[in-house]
């Protein structure tokens, strides 16, 4: 694959992504959604985020890893505990990342 082809693919993918996102903003920004739909849409981020994070926490090399040897799972548990007690997103992310880096540094 040539460099030009690669750049054309990247630019096209970016334009398509932008067009899809803009279409929702342009169309839905002018429409009044039903109250039930608006209420349901509030839960989309809460449902999507765990679906994105769970595989990274619970699986290593395609295998379920529910042990203390799973650094990502331990760091995720620390992040959950920090989140529950502090309600601070930045502190939660920082604590989880520091725990993961620390465990990876110690246990390699």
- Reduced to 3 states (helix: H, G, I; strand: E, B; else coil), residue 80 is helix
Our count of domains for the chain comes to 2
pLDDT in tens, 50-78: 999 999 999 988 899 998 889 999 999 99
Range of the domain at 75: 43-107
**Do 26 and 76 belong together in one domain?**
no
**Do 80 and 47 belong together in one domain?**
yes
**Do 75 and 24 belong together in one domain?**
no
Cα 46 from Cα 34, distance rounded (Å): 20
The answer to pTM > 0.85 is no
CA angle at 93 for the pair 99 and 71, rounded to the nearest 5°: 30
Judge whether 36 lies within some domain.
no
Query: Which candidate, 74, 73, 81, 79, places its Cα nearest to that of 56?
Result: 73
Categorize the per-residue pLDDT at 23 as very low, low, confident or very high, splitting at 50, 70 and 90: confident
Cα 85 from Cα 89, distance rounded (Å): 11
Judge whether 103 lies within some domain.
yes
**Do 50 and 99 belong together in one domain?**
yes
């Amino acid at each position: 694959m040539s460099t030009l082809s690669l750049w054309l693919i990247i630019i096209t993918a970016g334009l398509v992504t932008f067009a899809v996102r803009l279409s929702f903003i342009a169309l839905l920004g002018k429409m009044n959604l039903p109250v039930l739909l608006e209420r349901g849409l509030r839960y989309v981020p809460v449902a999507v985020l765990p679906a994105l994070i769970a595989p990274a926490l619970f699986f290593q090399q395609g295998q379920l890893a529910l042990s203390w040897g799973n650094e990502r799972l331990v760091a995720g548990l620390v992040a959950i505990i920090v989140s529950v007690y502090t309600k601070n997103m930045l502190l939660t992310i920082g604590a989880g990342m520091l725990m993961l880096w620390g465990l990876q540094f110690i246990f390699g």
